[in-house]
Amino acid sequence: MKPNFLMLFLALAWPAAWSATAAPLQLRQEAPPDGWAAQAGGTRGGADATAVVTVSDAAQLRRALDPAIKGSRIVLVDGVIDMSEGRPYASTADQARRGLVRLPSNTTLAGAGAASGFINAQLLVAKVEQVVIRNLNLRNPCDVAPEWDPQDGPTGGWNAQFDAISIVDARHVWVDHNSFTDAPVTDDTLPVEHGKPKQCHDGALDIRDASDFVTVSYNHFALHAKTMLIGASDKAVGDADHLRITLSNNLFEHVTSRAPRVRFGQVHLFNNYYVGERRHPSYKHGYSVGVAFGARIVSHANAFEIADARDCTNAVSLFASATNPGAFKDQGSLLNGGLLGACSATGDPGWTVPYAFAPIPAADVPAHVRAHAGAGKQAAP
């Protein structure tokens, strides 16, 4: 039987950094105008709900999210909900069933305080529309039985299931002021098998299958490897003309890669702050933004602080494709205090940002994002 890492999950404490005092949360707030989620009618989630339902355990949450309930809903998470309910997952299938939090259309899911959130959970936004997720602390789920694939890369690799949030074939989604981390089950705590850490984490926030009109704003992503995948496959031709996504004012701190990695999408990045170290003991920085098959990325005034970065290719990685190369165009971003450099001139994305936005100068981004990104900081602009 494959070892189960869940006991390690349950034995370690909730991160102390998630105990700050919460700022007021506007539960009926709609997605801001400076992002793709505000286009084509906007994103309100459950703002029209007649009442707010507060939940504090997995059973209450399941009842509140019952798809048989008609109309809009606002679900407020009070405290930390362990979706395993103290019973370790017996298998990946058991984890897939009991750890799943499926959000219906016209739903706002939010944390009641700065320390509210989930462990042992995977939030799924699939084939729905009008969903808002805010002010939650999300411990990236650890697959209890990751699989070894000897054909994964030149030396093989471990593959895990489950993202903290998966957005699949969904429209009008706003993910705002959340905190994502592997801690305390960081990669250096995992056993080594086949010469590699037995990686139990998949993505933090993945967006795929022609999802559209999504804004990801003021989130804090920390201590993770494969952070955000936008578009899951070069063969997913249905993603073309979709995956219209804005990432703004997010903090990516000691994440190895995919912040994000993009296929096909018309993705706008502005005022994001990237902090990494190419010699980090657990999460060595590989790249921040991945420009993959058919990606069309427009970038404004992002700040990259990557220790030991040689040049802009350490911040923006171009994945070669002869048939449909991606494009990345930047204005005003900085790498370690200097201009991002030549990698910003990789072709014309072929679209212009359709909404008004006012990025602050990249030099001001670190202080602004540090002050406002993550759970418990909803008073940010």
The 10 Å Cβ neighbour count of residue 320 is 9
Sign of CA dihedral 351, 352, 354, 355: positive
DSSP type of residue 343? G
In a 10 Å sphere around its CB, with 0-12 CB exposed, 13-18 middle and 19+ buried, how is residue 284 labelled? middle
Q: Is 44 a catalytic residue?
A: no
CA distance linking residue 121 with residue 321, whole number of Å: 35
Q: Smallest Cα–Cα separation from 39: which of 369, 260, 357?
A: 357
CA distance linking residue 16 with residue 89, whole number of Å: 25
Are 63 and 98 in contact by the 8 Å Cβ rule? The answer is: no
214 three-class SS = strand
Catalytic residue among 208, 258, 261, 296: 258
Which DSSP string corresponds to 16-58? Answer: GGG-SPPPP--TTPPPPSSSGGGSTT---TTTT-SSEEEE-SH
Structure tokens at 233: 């496959």
Question: N- to C-terminal Cα distance for the chain?
Answer: 50
Active site residues: 258
